[in-house]
Amino acid sequence: QVQLVESGGGLVQAGGSLRLSCTASGSFLSTYYMAWFRQAPGKERDFVATINWLGTNTVYADSVKGRFTLSRDNAKNTVYLQMNSLKPEDTAVYSCAATRKAASSNYWEYGYWGQGTQVTVSS
């Protein structure tokens, strides 16, 4: 069983950048597909991006394509979400998730979740 811990959230001005990290313990991250989701107050949880085992294939939500980059370092048991050109509408709690089934944009496909990290983008 894997435990996930996110870090790197914070307050940033519009146009700025942040890098989120998701570090796993209890299991080797290399055996899991990983993803990031986000949830703004009063809204549903939205898919952000997903990455395969080797980090050779990534899928992004249209809303973040070209601005966010998802990568992984299996040797460090860590997944990174580089977020550039941030917009106020990116404000949300960002959570990483893991599954052994397959990469998916559906949150219910992921059985392991971190506690989330707050990202706030001011205008």
pLDDT of residue 58: 97
Mean pLDDT along residues 10-15: 98
The owner of tokens 């706030």 is 120
Q: Which helix (H) or strand (E) holds 82?
A: strand 78-83
Q: Which residues pair with 23 in a beta bridge?
A: 5, 78
Residue 30 has a pLDDT of 86
**What is the average pLDDT value for the chain, to the nearest integer?**
96
- Give percent of the chain above pLDDT 90: 90
CB 80 within 8 A of CB 73: yes
- The number of residues making up the chain comes to 123
Q: Are strands 33-39 and 58-60 parallel, antiparallel or unpaired?
A: unpaired
